[in-house]
Amino acid sequence: MGKTYILTINPGSTSTKISLFKDGEIVFSRNINYSNETIKSYETIFSQKEMRLKGILESLKENGIELKDLAAVVGRGGLLRPMPGGTYEVTEKMIEDLKVGYQGEHASNLGGVLAREIGKLSGVKAFIADPVSVDEYEDAARISGVSELKRKSLVHALNIKAVVRKISKEISKDYRKTSFVAAHLGGGTSIAAVKNGRIIDSDSANDEGPFSPDRTGGLPVVELINMAFSGNYTYKELKKKLVGEGGIIGYLGTNDGKEVERRITEENDMKAKLIFDSMAYQIGKDIAAMSTVLKGRMDGIILTGGLAYSDYLMNKVKDYIKFLAPIYIVPGEDEMLSLYQGAKRVLDGTEEAKIYENEVDFND
């Protein structure tokens, strides 16, 4: 049959999603799920490697896929050092940083690790594409206002880059010569200024920008300091309140956008309406703020992520920003397709794979 398939791997906290592509189409997808008890039995994320690898290999075998038929393997990138966007060949130095979790422990750190293991078994190269640690900020964007604190880029780069490519193609422009504000609206929110294909500024998905289904976004700093020193919270409790128990779930007890919309439209729930409307307000305000980074010269505004499926929310957001530029809505986040496309561009020769060691600052 020959080397015809590209395998994509996306590890989550209690699952590993794999998809096998051939000629741009999915041959099969599988969510390999694990119980909370199984995950908790491992001391570190990296120590889960063999367990997750075994599940992937068994799934491939069950679907009649032989390793010799793989052309490449690509995993979701993890919390690596700050790096330019692109598709990267997985190297030993990258594995070292994924193993220790250079910018934090996260299941996505296993994406490149698992890709490398399967690449070795099948004799093909392993890649990652546009990880959350993509950092293409301009110098002015790094200044926070506190000399000890530097603004860092942790952004939904994979989806943002993919939708910018998609919309650029639809309007018959080279994505490397376009400018967009792209708002990824999901469990976390990233609103990014994308110029000539580079994310030159963005809201951090955890501690800046609008609140989201379970994250607070930016907060009044003095009030937050008062909370931190009130004696009412441990460090762990307060951190969870900001990421995991903040945003919509903190107000309404749910982080499901569909449920919030149902409460508004079917139950006339005025509190749900206030919170959803307030989130739309904050999203619109931050999109407008990010448009100033591009000096108002934009090809469009892209609304994407899971919340972009909500007509109610999208209509509210559009009311705030429709004067700025054309608006494009790309609901969802097709991470597996985006990973495939990253590897395919390298195999086709339309993009050269980057080498981690050549792109990052190891003295940072």
- Please give the single-letter amino acid code of residue 52: R
The residue length of the chain stands at: 364
Eight-class DSSP state of 81: S
User: What does the pLDDT read at residue 1?
Assistant: 52
Domains 5-131+336-359 and 157-332 belong to one CATH topology? yes
Eight-class DSSP state of 353: P
The b/e string for 295-304 (b: 16+ C-beta within 10 A; e otherwise) is: eeebbbbbbb
- Please give the single-letter amino acid code of residue 315: N
- Tokens describing residue 336: 């597996």
CB atoms within 10 A of CB 361: 9
For residues 39 and 14, is the Cβ–Cβ distance under 8 A? yes
- Tokens describing residue 99: 């193993």
Tens digit of pLDDT at every position of the chain (364 positions):
567 899 999 998 889 999 999 999 999 999 999 998 999 899 999 999 999 999 999 999 999 999 999 999 999 999 999 999 999 999 999 999 999 989 888 889 999 999 999 999 999 999 999 999 999 999 999 999 999 999 989 899 999 999 999 999 999 999 999 999 999 999 889 999 999 999 999 998 778 999 999 999 999 999 999 999 999 999 999 999 999 899 999 999 999 999 999 999 999 999 999 999 999 999 999 999 999 999 999 999 999 999 999 999 999 999 999 999 999 999 998 899 999 999 999 999 999 999 999 999 887 6
- Tokens describing residue 147: 């000399």
Which neighbouring-strand residues pair with 180? 194, 300
- Tokens describing residue 8: 């994509």
CA nearest 327: which of 176, 183, 160? 183
Alpha carbons 223 and 244: distance in angstroms, whole number:
19
**CATH 3.20.20.220 is right for the domain spanning 5-131+336-359:** no
- Tokens describing residue 248: 């919509």
157-332 — its CATH code? 3.30.420.40
User: What does the pLDDT read at residue 362?
Assistant: 83
Segments of the chain assigned E as strands: 5-11, 15-22, 25-33, 70-76, 87-89, 126-129, 179-185, 189-195, 198-202, 300-305, 327-331, 354-355
User: What does the pLDDT read at residue 99?
Assistant: 93
Q: In which order are the strands placed within the sheet that holds 15-22?
A: 25-33, 15-22, 5-11, 70-76, 126-129, 87-89, 354-355
Q: Where are the domains of the chain?
A: 5-131+336-359, 157-332
Alpha carbons 85 and 131: distance in angstroms, whole number:
8
Alpha carbons 103 and 107: distance in angstroms, whole number:
12
